[in-house]
Amino acid sequence: METNDDLTARGALRPAPENFLTPSQIAEVSKGRRDFLRAAFAAAGAVAAAPAALAQGAGDPDILEPLPWATSLGKPVAALPYGQPSRYERGLQRRQSPGLTQTDAASVSFTPLQGTFGIVTPSGLHFERHHQGWYDIDPRRHRFMINGGAPGMIRTPKVFTLDDIMRLPSVSRFHFIECGANTGMEWGNAAVPTVQYTHGMLACSEFTGVPLRVLLEECGADFAKGKFVLAEGADGSSMTRTIPIDSVLSGEVLVAYGQNGEMLRPENGYPLRLVVPGVQGVSWVKWLRRCELGDKPYGTKDETIHYVDLLPDGTHRQYTSIQEVKSVITTPSGGQKLLARGFYTISGLAWSGRGRIRRVDVSTDGGRNWVQAQLQGPVMAKCLTRFSAPWVWRGETALLQARATDETGHVQPTYGRMREVRGTRSIYHNNSIQTWRVAASGEVDNVQVL
C-alpha cells in the first residue's frame, strides 16, 4: 500500500529529467542516445544535496537562455483590431463529425468541450447547427413581426426594428443551449472518440435581450386564447418551432440580440434569436423574424419529421423539448492521455432544463462507488455548472463517470435504464451517464457501461 506521500513524490517525478534537458538533448534521447544522459544525471547527482545549485551546471534553457519575447519589441496595440486566440490554441476549434451529414449547409459543428474552462463558451467556439446555411444579415434591414394565428389573438400586429428592440429595457442572463440531438450518435453504442463529438452540441452564454412576453403584451396579446407561440426564422429554411406558452409567460423566453457582451455571431442568429431556457436548441430560432400567437401547436417539419423521439414500440414522441438533467466529465476525457501518475482534477459540466443543478457525483470505478463533486459558483438555473473532484491516479485502469441531480430531484440515468425505457434507435434527448475509460497507459477512450 502506497502512502499519499509516496504518490505525491511519484507525481512530482514527472517533470524530471526532461526539464533539465534542452530540446536538442531531448531529440537525442528520442533517437536512442542515452549515454550523454547518464553524464547529465551524474552532473546533477553531484549537486543533488543542493537542488538549487542545479542551475549552475544544467538548467531549464527556457530560463537560462534569452527568449525572443523577452529580448525584442512586441506588437503594437490594435495590431488585431478584433482579437484572436493565441496560435498555440488552434487545436481547439469547432469541428464537424465526418459522415454525420451529407451537406455542410444542413449540418453541425461541435464545441471543443475538452478545452473550455468555467461555464461560458467563447462565442467563436459556440457549436453550429444550421438547417439551410447561415447568413450575415444586414441588421438595418431586419424586421421582427408579431401577429396572431386567428382574429383577436393579437390586438395590433406589429413590426419592430432592431432600433425598437434595443431601446427597450433589456435583461442579461446566463443559459445553456443544447441541441436535442446532442449525444445522439451514442444511442446504440460508443461511436465517436472525444467529448467534442459526444457532447459538443452544447454551449453556454450570457444572452441579452427583451422578454418575448413584453413584446407580445405591447401588441395586445390575449393570453386567455393564445396557448402556443410559433417562432420563425428569416433564413432560407424560415425554420419554425412551437414555443411553450408557460415559458413565454414566465418571462424567461428572450428575443435576444446580445451574446457574451457583443452582438450575436452570425452563425448564432445575428441580429436576433429566440432564447428558450432549458429547451433544446432547435427552438431557439435564429435570425428570428416573426412570432405568432395561436391556440394549437404548429406541427412544423422540425416537430414531425425531425426532433421526434422514436420509442421501441414505433411511436414517436412529439414536442419533446426540455433538456433533462445531464453531466459529462470534460477533463480527462476521450482521446486524451494523462501526462503521468499523480494528482489530477476531474472536471466537467452539469446542466438541467428544469432548473439548477443540486449536486454532481463522480465515480472512478464505473459507478460502483461515488463521491460528491464540488460545484463552482454561481450555480444558475438552466445554465451550465462546472464541477470538479480531486483524483490521484496510481496508474490503474479507471472508469470515470459523472452523475448530476437537479433541483427537482431528477437523477441522471444510466445507459441501462435509458435503453429499458427508450430503446436504442432514438436520436434525441440522450442524457445517459457517460463513461471514460482510463487505460494503464494513461490513454482515455469512450466506453459505455449500462
Partner 1 sequence: MSKFFSALLALLIAGGAYAQERFPGIGRPATRAEVQAWDIDVRPDFQGLPRGKGTVAQGEEIWEAKCASCHGTFGEANHTFSPIVGGTTARDMETGRVANLRRQDYPQRTTFMKAPSVATLYDYIRRAMPWTNPKSLSDDEVYAVLAYMLNLADIVPAEFELNERTIRDVQNRMPNRNGMTTDHAMWPGRGFGTERNKPDTRGPACMTDCRLEARIASSLPDHARNAHGNLLLQNRVIGPVRGVPTAPGDFDFDDAETGPMLLARESGCLACHGVAQKIVGPGFAEVALRYRNQDVAEALAGRVRQGAQGVWGNVPMPPQPDLKDDEIRALVGWILAGAPEK
Q: How far is the CB of 287 from partner 1 (least distance, A)?
A: 13
Q: Round to whole Å and give the CA distance between 228 and 214.
A: 16
Q: Round to whole Å and give the CA distance between 25 and 61.
A: 11
Smaller CB separation from partner 1, 58 or 412: 412
The three cell numbers of residue 304 are 414531425
Q: Where are the alpha helices (DSSP H) in 183-233?
A: 195-199, 212-218
Asked whether position 196 contacts partner 1 by CB under 8 A, the answer is yes
Smaller CB separation from partner 1, 290 or 386: 290
The size of the interface with partner 1 (CB under 8 A), counted in residues, is: 140
How many C-beta neighbours within 10 Å does residue 410 have?
A: 16
Asked whether position 385 contacts partner 1 by CB under 8 A, the answer is no
Q: Round to whole Å and give the CA distance between 19 and 21.
A: 5
Contacts (CB under 8 A) with partner 1, residues 66-85: 72-73, 75-76, 79
Options 11, 20, 97, 184; binder of partner 1; rule CB under 8 A: 97
Distances from the Cα of 190 to the Cαs of 41, 437, 446, in angstroms?
45, 12, 6
Asked whether position 388 contacts partner 1 by CB under 8 A, the answer is no
Here's the x/- map for partner 1, 414-433, by CB under 8 A: it reads as xx-xx--xx--x---x-x-x
Contacts (CB under 8 A) with partner 1, residues 251-280: 278-279
Asked whether position 352 contacts partner 1 by CB under 8 A, the answer is no
Query: Is residue 86 within 8 Å of 170, Cβ to Cβ?
Result: no
Here's the x/- map for partner 1, 113-152, by CB under 8 A: it reads as -xx---------------xx------------xxx-xx--
Asked whether position 63 contacts partner 1 by CB under 8 A, the answer is no
Smaller CB separation from partner 1, 36 or 343: 343
Q: Round to whole Å and give the CA distance between 44 and 17.
A: 10
Q: Round to whole Å and give the CA distance between 411 and 331.
A: 22
Q: Which of 249, 283, 279 is nearest to 269 (CA)?
A: 283
Options 58, 338, 380, 383; binder of partner 1; rule CB under 8 A: 338
Smaller CB separation from partner 1, 17 or 335: 335
Asked whether position 232 contacts partner 1 by CB under 8 A, the answer is yes
Asked whether position 366 contacts partner 1 by CB under 8 A, the answer is yes
Pairing of strands 288-294, 143-148: parallel
DSSP letter, residue 433: P
Options 365, 390, 394, 396; binder of partner 1; rule CB under 8 A: 365
Residue 378: is the preceding peptide bond cis (ω within 30°)? yes
Q: Round to whole Å and give the CA distance between 198 and 96.
A: 12
Cα dihedral 241, 246, 432, 382 sign: positive
Q: How far is the CB of 66 from partner 1 (least distance, A)?
A: 14
Asked whether position 350 contacts partner 1 by CB under 8 A, the answer is no
Segment interacting with partner 1 (CB under 8 A) among 30-38, 46-54, 118-126, 295-303: 295-303
Options 258, 271, 332, 348; binder of partner 1; rule CB under 8 A: 332
Smaller CB separation from partner 1, 58 or 279: 279
Query: Is residue 196 within 8 Å of 95, Cβ to Cβ?
Result: yes
